[in-house]
Structure 1
Amino acid sequence: MNNPSVATGSLRSVTLNIEGHKHLARWVPVVKALEPDVVCLQEVFAVDLPEIEQQLGMRASFLPLSNILEVNRYKIHPLGLWGIAQLTKLPTRNRQAHQYGGDVVVPVFHEPNDSQRTVLSQEIEKNAAWHTIATTHFTWSKGGEITQLQREDFQRLATIIRSYDELVLCGDFNAPRGKELFTLFESLLIDRLPQVFTTTIDPNLHYGGDLQLVVDTIFTTAGYEVIGVHPFAGVSDHMGVVGEVSVIPTGAEATMPFGPVHNE
């Protein structure tokens, strides 16, 4: 599967939960050195995006999910609107935003689920191929155990996922691999993070320590090939995930179900 010709024409994709303003000096140089084509961020402040755009040499598309106006027990800076973003320097088209959970208006943040839940997607062109790249920050639960709210939000998200012909969905899914919620995602999409990787929580930067939970990944439909997927640490309380995404030519798709399928 490690095909150099595929990698040469692929779209290098990074996803990372940056935990707001805390780790800019850590993650920006690391991500820049990876030379990605698209960067999907969760927990990014709108006020930080101009600096991030300048440092990465990319344009950002942003969706606010919460408004953080006061000091809170999570020690998140009260810098206003934060949410999800995609950054790229490549041509884009067909930007879409689909809400599947949370309030109609952007809520003030006090607790982890004081948030809208939305998918941000756009098509990105590289080497004459258009890739549909999306990101989301899924509904939180304590201890990674599935809740009724997560089940309800997933059903709405599943309808959105099915509306795309092909899709790359990156993000922080708050769904530990091997548990019920992650399995629901695998019923629709292919998890591209190899099983050899057992956590995307940074043991040195996350308040919970070494949790051994995979909650961040790159999911795709069967029309994409993804190689070289791996996490990288030392950038935020979550590890980043990077991989090379390629469109499989029409008629050349492998016969496979939408899930569960894993890269080994």
Structure 2
Amino acid sequence: MSLTFAHINIERHRHLARIEPFLRERAPDVVCMQEVFESDIPFFREVLDAECFFVPMTLYPWQEGTTPEGVALFSRTGFLSTAFHQLGGWEGELTTYLDGTPVEKNETQRYVLATADIEHEGAVYRFGTTHFPVTDKGEMNEIQEGVLKKFLETTDLFTECVISGDFNAPRGREVFSRISEKFIDNVPLQYGSSIDGSLHRAGPIPFMVDGLFSRGGYAVRDVEMVCGVSDHCALVAQVEKV
């Protein structure tokens, strides 16, 4: 039997009042999130009744200090195993994020792929999530190309997986296309943008930058994009081992 999956870039602390009813209504079994504050994890664990695997990417300035911010996987059935893989960016101890130019953003955070093996009704599923570097107008730069190379090298070791992320790369251009050569792109082509123009600080952007990819023995069905929850639209789907 399939499990319910959701993916969403939550834009840190800004949309919790929108995200909470969405998560309670959908009640997903597995959720992949980006731009998560570590301090908000107890809130999401309670809302989802789930365990969390969190991998910080940077220290985000917040309330006269900083808080770790990164990617997270939530699972209602816990985890059999977890791992993270560094894809590029800042190395060593976390540093304070600079919300300035794309170069400043990219040089003050590390880029990671977080993965987890999860058991659901006797079957083992592997999920992963990532958040790629931002670029100017969605054009690939040197940092993003390096992260893509490491991402593809790392995931080549996985015979089966479902990976979602904010790839900061428009579908149809090089980064998204190179990933699609290795994986099944499960987001219906009818969706032309995953940016919610009513909530994103830059307004409408005609880029599908959020991806839901799979490889191996997974059926990903009933994929739907849901807007009105964050500056990025959420993706929801049914995932089943076949």
Aligned residue for 1:92, secondary structure, equals coil
Verify: 1:110 aligned to 2:110, yes or no.
no
Aligned to 1:140: 134
Aligned to 1:100: 87
Q: Percent identity?
A: 32
Aligned to 1:256: none
Verify: 1:121 aligned to 2:109, yes or no.
no
Q: Following TM superposition, by how much is the alpha carbon of 1:188 offset from its aligned partner in structure 2, in angstroms?
A: 1.2
Residues 1-264 of structure 1 mapped to structure 2, 5 A cutoff:
9-69=1-61, 79-105=66-92, 106-111=94-99, 112-113=105-106, 114-248=108-242
2:190 aligned partner, one-letter code: V
- Unaligned residue ranges in structure 1 (runs of 5+): 1-8, 72-76, 249-264
Inter-partner Cα distance in structure 2 for 1:48 and 1:232: 22
Aligned length: 235
Give per-residue Cα distances to partners, 1:237-256, cap 9 Å, x unaligned: 000101111112xxxxxxxx
Inter-partner Cα distance in structure 1 for 2:237 and 2:154: 23
Give per-residue Cα distances to partners, 1:27-58, cap 9 Å, x unaligned: 12102211101011100000111111112211
Moved >4 Å (runs of 4+): none
Inter-partner Cα distance in structure 1 for 2:201 and 2:215: 33
Q: Following TM superposition, by how much is the alpha carbon of 1:94 offset from its aligned partner in structure 2, in angstroms?
A: 2.0
| Native 8 Å contact 1:47 1:79 kept in 2 | no
Inter-partner Cα distance in structure 2 for 1:162 and 1:78: 39
Aligned residue for 1:69, secondary structure, equals strand
Inter-partner Cα distance in structure 2 for 1:233 and 1:84: 20
Inter-partner Cα distance in structure 2 for 1:212 and 1:78: 35
Aligned residue for 1:175, secondary structure, equals coil
2:119 aligned partner, one-letter code: E
CA RMSD, aligned part only? 1.4
- Unaligned residue ranges in structure 2 (runs of 5+): 100-104
| Native 8 Å contact 1:28 1:56 kept in 2 | no
Aligned residue for 2:54, secondary structure, equals strand
Q: Following TM superposition, by how much is the alpha carbon of 1:26 offset from its aligned partner in structure 2, in angstroms?
A: 0.6
Select the structure that is richer in strand: 2
Aligned residue for 1:184, secondary structure, equals helix
Inter-partner Cα distance in structure 1 for 2:70 and 2:172: 27
Give per-residue Cα distances to partners, 1:99-154, cap 9 Å, x unaligned: 01112222210033221111111111111111100000112111111112111111
